[in-house]
A and B are shown apart, each in its own frame.
Chain A
Amino acid sequence: MELNRRKFTNMLIGGGLLGWLASVLYPLFTYLIPPRVEEQSLNSVKAGKVDDFPPNSGKIIKFGRKPVLLIRTETGDFRAFSATCTHLDCIVQYREDTKHIWCACHNGMFDLTGKNIAGPPPRPLMPYGVRVQKNEIIIEKPTNLG
């Protein structure tokens, strides 16, 4: 009887301890596993493979919390600009027919250097840096522009 009680207590402690350890260690180890999303580096972002972008095309890339328009010109080089229109914050797009950057909201136009050339936008689009490394396109925050 006495022995059984003691056995029960030890089991209770053992079981409790195991469960407790599990409930402490589980969050701990999952915390240490690197999250699937790579830590968002604030100064550059990978946009994809060069082959995914045919010449004369554009695509919106999420640069952290800011949309960036990545353009591959007809001649094949890459350019990137802030995709936020300087007029009323709409998202601009690349137009394959006119080969311009275009904002659908008010028909604002920018040339391929980001300069505002028609419609209401008051300022050029801020350029981002583009680097190609081992067939991978990397968009960079322009350091000289702050």
Chain B
Amino acid sequence: MKIGYTSIFAGLFLGMGVLLAQPQDDEKTSYLQQLVEVDQCVACHIEEEALPEGLHENDIHLREGLSCAGCHGGDPTSDDMDIAMDPARGYIGIPDKQEVPSFCGKCHSDIRFMRRFRPQVETDQEVQYYTSRHGRLLKAGDTKVAVCTDCHTSHAVFPASDPRSSVYPTNVPETCKRCHSDSDYMAEYKIPTDQYEKFAESVHGVALLKKKDVGSPACNDCHGNHGALPPGVTSIGQVCGNCHINNLQYFQKTKMAEEFKKMDLHDCIECHGYHAVPPTNDEMVGVGEQSTCIDCHDEGDEGYKAAVEIRAMLRNLTTAIDSANTLKKQIQIIGMDDLDIEYLLKDAHQQLIHARTVIHTFDPKQVEEKTKTGLDRAKEAIQLALEEIEEYHRRRKGFLFATLFTTLLIIGLFIKLRQIESEQKEDAHRREP
């Protein structure tokens, strides 16, 4: 009896184990298993348990039919190792690090070949790479720098649009970080290693890494992909202006932009920083503690005055919008009509956003154009809100009318009651004198 149970349980357990394990195993080996039939490299390496580390079943090369020999050379039809891995039959094996760009470039730099897979494919990666800092150092014999496989991996390669890819936007910072945040590894290059930390806290980093907003820039969006270089001092504005178009255009037309050039200052980053770009706020303008204006401007000069003025305009508008918002909420709660107020406030808010962009002209007049319209809208909204509240109280007047008639009716009925009762009393008296 006892043994019976045990064996049943054991049987069940094993059965479940097989059931659970099977689909996984199936998936993992199915494609490679198919390859076993035609590709002796795969067959042998599976048997010897010598498949490359990190090999991904869905690696784009593997899936496109490019098996081991496609890159590593040799004869995949032979099950004899000496023949299969014979350099005479084109066997390359693991390329030297310095050889990697040309190893990949064999195909990736060949437009005719690459066209077969994707008509709009780019084939300049290798050329671009050698213009980058990585590429130039590699050429000079430094094998510590990143080559294709360092960023793209060797055997888990995916298109950059695939979230599994090591170069998918949200994965890029992590990929660069592997070397660039390693202070020991980077020591000899004498460049900072805090970029990732700074970036992760920045407005872009939070959007990209925390909110997974792929519209936010990763490292490569400013530094380039294959031709990775720090943006030059003269081009930094263009880099930011790629997305922040209006801000750049306003800035470029200012006197300050010219002065910056003369003083060898770097456009946007002088106020906003780089890597650690914090979310902007209105305190950055003006002459307060967080102001960036007073880094250069002193009390009395024109810029100082403009900063004070612009700050005041923004404050006026935000205060007006805030108080209108408070009123709006109140109106919502008491159940009055807030729809028009909401639309006015939307408009006011838009003017505020606009004004914050126009700040980059550093011209109080241009900022005022926006803040004034915004202020008008906010004031209209407040006016409308107050009218709604007044209407709310005005309703009470009608009550006085109604209550007047109700009171009359009550008095009338009361007198009537008294009359009836006194008559009844008289009646009773008459009956029993």
Report A's interface with B, CB cutoff 8 A. Answer: 5-6, 9-10, 12-13, 15-20, 22-24, 27, 62, 65, 67, 88-91, 104-107, 116, 118-123
Pairs across A and B, CB under 8 Å, 11 listed: A9-B416, A13-B416, A17-B409, A20-B406, A90-B353, A105-B357, A106-B246, A107-B245, A120-B215, A122-B207, A122-B216
Which of A5, A19, A90, A106 meets B244, CB within 8 Å? A106
B38-81 interface bits toward A, Cβ cutoff 8 Å, 1 = contact, 0 = none: 00000000000000000000000000000000000000000000
State in angstroms the CA–CA spacing of A122 and B208 once bound together.
11
Contact between chains at B346 and A91 (CB < 8 Å): yes
- Taking the closest CB of chain B, its distance from the CB of A30, in whole angstroms, is 11
Which of A5, A23, A91, A119 meets B243, CB within 8 Å? A119
Contact between chains at B243 and A12 (CB < 8 Å): no
B188-231 interface bits toward A, Cβ cutoff 8 Å, 1 = contact, 0 = none: 00000000000000000001000001111000000000000000
- Taking the closest CB of chain B, its distance from the CB of A95, in whole angstroms, is 14
For residue B5, CB closer than 8 A to chain A, the reply is no
B247 (CB) vs chain A CBs: closest residue: A106
Contact between chains at A9 and B405 (CB < 8 Å): no
> Which of A5, A24, A62, A90 has the most chain B CB within a 10 Å cutoff?
A90
Contact between chains at B243 and A65 (CB < 8 Å): no
B408 (CB) vs chain A CBs: closest residue: A16
Which of A10, A12, A104, A120 meets B354, CB within 8 Å? A104
Contact between chains at B343 and A9 (CB < 8 Å): no
Contact between chains at A105 and B402 (CB < 8 Å): no
Prevailing SS type, chain B contact patch? helix
For residue B376, CB closer than 8 A to chain A, the reply is no
Instruction: List residues of chain B with CB within 8 A of the CB of A24.
Output: 402
Instruction: List residues of chain A with CB within 8 A of the CB of B404.
Output: 19
- Taking the closest CB of chain B, its distance from the CB of A69, in whole angstroms, is 13
Instruction: List residues of chain B with CB within 8 A of the CB of A5.
Output: 419
State in angstroms the CA–CA spacing of A62 and B419 once bound together.
64
Instruction: List residues of chain B with CB within 8 A of the CB of A15.
Output: 408, 412
Instruction: List residues of chain B with CB within 8 A of the CB of A104.
Output: 354
Contact between chains at A88 and B353 (CB < 8 Å): yes
Contact between chains at B405 and A22 (CB < 8 Å): yes
> Which of A13, A15, A121 has the most chain B CB within a 10 Å cutoff?
A13
Query: 8 Å CB contacts to A: which residues of B229-275?
Result: 243-247, 249
Contact between chains at B415 and A12 (CB < 8 Å): yes
Contact between chains at B349 and A89 (CB < 8 Å): yes
Contact between chains at A120 and B243 (CB < 8 Å): yes
Instruction: List residues of chain A with CB within 8 A of the CB of B401.
Output: 23
Whether A19 contacts B215 in the complex (CB less than 8 A), given A6-B419, A9-B419, comes out as: no
For residue B342, CB closer than 8 A to chain A, the reply is yes
Instruction: List residues of chain B with CB within 8 A of the CB of A107.
Output: 245-246, 249
Q: Which 3 A-B pairs have the closest CB atoms?
A: A122-B215, A19-B405, A16-B409
- Taking the closest CB of chain B, its distance from the CB of A3, in whole angstroms, is 12
- Taking the closest CB of chain A, its distance from the CB of B374, in whole angstroms, is 12
State in angstroms the CA–CA spacing of A20 and B404 once bound together.
8
State in angstroms the CA–CA spacing of A15 and B405 once bound together.
8
Contact between chains at B405 and A20 (CB < 8 Å): yes
> Which of A9, A22, A123 has the most chain B CB within a 10 Å cutoff?
A9
Instruction: List residues of chain B with CB within 8 A of the CB of A123.
Output: 215
- Taking the closest CB of chain A, its distance from the CB of B349, in whole angstroms, is 7
Apart from the given pairs A19-B405, A20-B405, A65-B342, 12 other A-B contacts in the complex at a CB distance below 8 Å = A5-B419, A9-B412, A9-B419, A13-B412, A88-B353, A89-B353, A90-B353, A104-B354, A106-B246, A106-B247, A121-B215, A122-B214
For residue B312, CB closer than 8 A to chain A, the reply is no
State in angstroms the CA–CA spacing of A46 and B274 once bound together.
48
State in angstroms the CA–CA spacing of A24 and B409 once bound together.
13
Instruction: List residues of chain A with CB within 8 A of the CB of B398.
Output: 23, 27
Instruction: List residues of chain A with CB within 8 A of the CB of B140.
Output: none
B418 (CB) vs chain A CBs: closest residue: A9
Instruction: List residues of chain A with CB within 8 A of the CB of B408.
Output: 12, 15-16, 19-20
Instruction: List residues of chain B with CB within 8 A of the CB of A22.
Output: 405
For residue B339, CB closer than 8 A to chain A, the reply is yes
A108 (CB) vs chain B CBs: closest residue: B245
State in angstroms the CA–CA spacing of A119 and B410 once bound together.
72
State in angstroms the CA–CA spacing of A117 and B197 once bound together.
30
For residue B350, CB closer than 8 A to chain A, the reply is yes
For residue B336, CB closer than 8 A to chain A, the reply is no
For residue B10, CB closer than 8 A to chain A, the reply is no
State in angstroms the CA–CA spacing of A77 and B247 once bound together.
35
Instruction: List residues of chain B with CB within 8 A of the CB of A118.
Output: 245
